[in-house]
Amino acid sequence: MQDQALKEATHNDMANAIRALAMDAVQQADSGHPGMPMGMADVATVLFTRFLKFDSAHPDWPDRDRFVLSAGHGSMLLYALLYLTGYPEMTLEELKNFRQLHSRTPGHPEYGHAPGIETTTGPLGQGLGNAVGMALAERLLNARYGDEIVDHFTYCVAGDGCLMEGISHEAISLAGHLRLGRLIVLFDDNQISIDGPTSLAVSDDQIERFRASHWHTARVDGHDPEAVALAIENARAVTDRPSLIACRTVIGYGAPSKAGTAATHGSPLGADEVAGAREKLGWRHAPFDLPKPVLAGWRAAGARHRSAYEAWAAAAKRLEPQARTALTDPIDDQVSRAIVAAIAAVKAAFTAEGAKLATRQSSQKVLERLLPIVPGVVGGSADLTGSNGTLTKASVIVKPGDFAGNYIHYGVREHAMAATMNGLALHGGIVPYGGTFLVFTDYCRPSIRLSALMGQRVIYVMTHDSIGLGEDGPTHQPVEHLAALRAMPNLYVMRPADSVECAECWELALLAKTTPTILALTRQGLPVLRTAHTDENLSAKGAYVLIEPRAPRHVTLIGTGSELSLAVEAAKALEGEGIGAAVVSMPCSELFMAQSEACRAKVLGSAPRIAVEAAAAYGWDRWIGPGGVFIGMRGFGASAPAQDLYKHFGITAEAVAAAARDLIGKAKR
Ligand SMILES: Cc1ncc(C[n+]2csc(CCOP(=O)(O)OP(=O)(O)O)c2C)c(N)n1
C-alpha cells in the first residue's frame, strides 16, 4: 500500500509540495528564505524518498541516517520535509506559524524544538562540522557495536556560504583524513549568496578543493532526479572516503522572474511572484493545501523503513541492558554512581599525597581513573595532547579508517574540533572532551556557543589558563577569556584551585547532562589546598568557604584557580595580625549563581571583599560588591617566567594582604 502511494506520487509533485510550503510559509511569516528550499527541493525529494533511512514514527532510532541542514537559513526545507514525511510534532499548524514565538519552526532549525531536527544550524559552516562529528560517532559506535546496531549514513546539505567559511576547511580536511566514508555532503551549488552571484567573492573550484582533502566528488544537475539518485548511490558505495556531490541548482526554482537571483535568498517572493511560481510549476493548490496522493506519497516515504526499524529494535533487545542504554545515555544512573565513587577515591588520594600538581596534570590523573569506567567518553586535542594532558593509558588513537579507538588527534583545527564534538554529542552514545589552550577558546567560540545553546554535554579541557603559563607571552595568555566565557548562558566555566577541586569539576562536567563545561586548567604546579578529605563535592555549589577565621570575619578573600593559594597565604599573614580573613573558593560562578540568595550570602558574608584572579576584572563587581577590591590583570600579559609575571602585575599574596589592611582601615574610619 505504502509503496504504491510512493510510486503514484510523481517526483515533480512531491518536490513542488516542498516549494509551495516554503514559499507560502515565508509569505505568511513575511520573512524567511524561500530560495534555498525551492532550489534544493529536487535533491531533498530524491534523498528522502529513495535513500534516507529514517522512520517518522521513531525519530529517536539510534541507527537512523542523520540529516543535517548546514545551510540553516533554508529551514523551511527541513520543516516541510518533517511535516510531509509525517513527524507527529511537525503539523501544518506549525508551518503556518513559521518564525512565530513558541512555534516549533523558528527562523533557523533549533535542536530540541522538534524531533527530526538533528542540530541547530544558522551560523554557516557549523552544520558541516557537526556532520563530521556525527559521521565519526557512527564509525566509533559501529566499531563497538557492529553493523547490526550501528550502520548509517550522515547527509549534510551545505551551501556556498558554508563552504566559504573557514570552518569548512578544517572540517573537510579532518573528515577526509579520517576517511569518513559514511559522510555525504550535498552542496547546493547555486552560485548565489546574499550580495549577489558568488563570483563577487569566491572563485574556488570546490570539487578540486574537496578532492585535495581525499574526498570522492561528483557534479550533477540538481534538478535531474535520476542524476542525483545515481550520484548518491555511487557516493554510498565509496566506503573509504567521504563524498561531495555538487548539485547545480537554481535558487528560487520556479519563481518566474526572481529564480536564479539573490532576490529569492532571504525575502518573501511577494504575492505576484508566488502566483507566478504556482503557474510555472503547475501547482494549482491553495496555500498549505496538499493534494491527497502527494501527501500520501510523502507519508509513505516517512514509513518506508518501518520494518528496518523493527528489525533493529529486535536486534537491540538482544544487547546487554547496559550496552543498550549506553547507545543513547552513556552516563546513566549506574555509571553516574561509579563516577561519584571514583572521584571520591581520587580526591582522597590527592589529599593524602599532597603533591604539588598543575591542574592539567591532576585532570589527566582523573581521566586515567575515569576512562575505564565511562566507555562512552571520547577524548582528543587540537595538537596539544602532551600539554593538555588529555591522553591516558586507556586512550587508543583513532586512525584513518580504523575507529576502534577513543582518542582523536584533531590536528591544529580548534574550530572543527569543537563543532565535531558537538556532532559527537548530538549523535548520542558519546561524551566528548577535547583540549587546547584556554586562549584559543576564541578559535572555538562559535561552536562553544552552540554547545551551550543546544544544551550538549561537551567538555572543553582548556589548559594554560593565565599569565601563569609564563614565557609564551601575551599571545598565549588569556586575560579576558574567563569573563567572555562566563558571559555565555548555559556554560559552566570551571577553574579548579587544586587537584581535589579538579576532580570535583570533572565529576560535575560529566554529570551535567544539558550543559557544556570549560575546564580552565593551569600549566604551573599548585599546592593542595583541600587538606582534609570529604566525599562531598564542595565545588558543586560553585563556591564554598575554604577557611573560616578563628577571629570574626573582617574581610572575605575570594579566589579561583591558581590564585586561591595567594588568598590562603594572605589570610595566614592577616591572621598573625589579628585580622580575620575568610577564604572563599569559587571554582564555578555559574553554579554559585544558581544557589539560593541565603546560601550565597552565607558563603560571601557581610565583611568587605577582595577577589583575586589573574584575569580581567570584568564581571567581578557582582561578587565583590560596591567598595570591594579586585586584584588581577588590567591589560595584556608579557613573556617571562610565571613568578616574575605575578610580581610584575602585582598579583601576590602581599598585595592581597595589603588590600585587606587598607580595606579594613577604611571600614574602621
Ligand atoms: C557565520 C555566518 N555568517 C553570515 C551569515 C548570514 N548569512 C545567512 S545566509 C548567507 C548567505 C549564504 O549563501 P548560500 O550558502 O549560497 O545560500 P543561498 O543563497 O544559496 O540560500 C549569509 C551571509 C550566517 N548565517 N552565518
Output the pLDDT for position 7.
Answer: 80
Q: Residues 5-64: pLDDT tens digits? A: 888 779 999 999 999 999 999 999 999 999 999 999 999 999 999 999 999 999 999 999
**Which long-range CB contacts under 8 A does 103-112 form with residues at least 24 apart?**
105/25, 105/75, 105/76, 105/79, 106/75, 107/31, 107/32, 107/73, 107/75, 108/72, 108/73, 108/75, 109/69, 109/72, 109/75, 109/78, 109/79, 110/453, 110/454, 111/426, 111/454, 111/455, 112/454, 112/455
pTM over 0.85: yes
Q: Residues 80-103: pLDDT tens digits? A: 999 999 999 999 999 999 999 999
Q: What is the atom index within ligand 1 of the atom nearest the CA of 191? A: 16
- What is the Å distance from ligand 1's center to 481 Cα? 28
Please list the residues that pair with 69 across neighbouring strands: 157
Q: Residues 112-131: pLDDT tens digits? A: 999 999 999 999 999 999 99
Instruction: Mean pLDDT check: name the lowest of 4-8, 477-481, 495-499.
Output: 4-8
Using N-to-C axis directions, what is the helix angle for 564-576 and 653-668, rounded to 10°? 50
Using N-to-C axis directions, what is the helix angle for 126-145 and 441-454, rounded to 10°? 70
Q: What is the atom index within ligand 1 of the atom nearest the CA of 159? A: 15
- What is the Å distance from ligand 1's center to 63 Cα? 31
- What is the Å distance from ligand 1's center to 196 Cα? 11
Mean pLDDT of 190-202: 98
Q: What is the atom index within ligand 1 of the atom nearest the CA of 108? A: 25
- What is the Å distance from ligand 1's center to 129 Cα? 16
| 400 contacts: CB under 8 Å, gap ≥ 6 | 177, 178, 179
| The pairing of beta strand 459-463 with beta strand 517-520 | parallel
Percentage of the chain lying above the pLDDT 70 cut: 99
Residue 1 reports pLDDT greater than 60:
no
φ/ψ of 463, rounded to 5, equals -100, 180
Nearest CA to ligand 1 atom 9: 73
Helices (H) and strands (E) in the chain, counts: 27, 16
| Contact yes or no for 554/663 (Cβ under 8 A) | no
Instruction: Return left, alpha or beta for 146; rule: phi > 0 is left, psi -120 to 50 is alpha, else beta.
Output: left
Three cell numbers written together for 106? 523558528
Q: Residues 556-592: pLDDT tens digits? A: 999 999 999 999 999 999 999 999 999 999 999 999 9
Ligand 1 binding site (Cβ under 6 Å of any ligand atom): 33, 35-36, 71, 73-74, 122-124, 159-162, 165, 188, 190, 192-194, 251, 265
Nearest CA to ligand 1 atom 12: 161
In three-state secondary structure terms, 235 is: helix
Output the pLDDT for position 2.
Answer: 62
CA-based nearest residue to 258, from 243, 273, 275? 273
Output the pLDDT for position 668.
Answer: 67
Average pLDDT, the chain: 97
Nearest CA to ligand 1 atom 13: 193
- What is the Å distance from ligand 1's center to 194 Cα? 7
| Contact yes or no for 324/501 (Cβ under 8 A) | no
Three cell numbers written together for 382? 587540537
Residue in 33, 194, 250 to alter for ligand 1 test, most ligand atoms within 8 A of Cβ = 194
Nearest CA to ligand 1 atom 19: 193
Q: H or E segment at 457? A: none
Q: What is the atom index within ligand 1 of the atom nearest the CA of 262? A: 19
Q: Residues 479-494: pLDDT tens digits? A: 999 999 999 999 999 9
Q: What is the atom index within ligand 1 of the atom nearest the CA of 122? A: 25
CA-based nearest residue to 459, from 599, 339, 632, 299? 339
Q: State the Cα–Cα distance between residues 56 and 474, nearest whole angstrom.
A: 52
Name the pLDDT band for 669 (thresholds 50, 70, 90).
Answer: low
Q: State the Cα–Cα distance between residues 526 and 362, nearest whole angstrom.
A: 10
Name the pLDDT band for 204 (thresholds 50, 70, 90).
Answer: very high
Q: Residues 399-422: pLDDT tens digits? A: 999 999 999 999 999 999 999 999
Among all chains, which residue has been given the C-alpha cell 591558581?
Answer: 562
CA-based nearest residue to 527, from 504, 498, 557? 498
**Which long-range CB contacts under 8 A does 256-263 form with residues at least 24 apart?**
256/280, 259/38, 260/190, 260/192, 261/192, 262/192, 262/193, 262/194, 262/195, 262/196, 262/197
Mean pLDDT of 365-371: 97
Residue 667 reports pLDDT greater than 80:
no
- What is the Å distance from ligand 1's center to 443 Cα? 20
Output the pLDDT for position 16.
Answer: 98
Max CA distance (Å), the chain: 91
Name the pLDDT band for 351 (thresholds 50, 70, 90).
Answer: very high
| Contact yes or no for 561/497 (Cβ under 8 A) | yes
Name the pLDDT band for 599 (thresholds 50, 70, 90).
Answer: very high
Name the pLDDT band for 503 (thresholds 50, 70, 90).
Answer: very high
Which residues have a catalytic role annotated?
Answer: 414
Q: Residues 260-270: pLDDT tens digits? A: 999 999 999 99
CA 585 to chain centre: 28
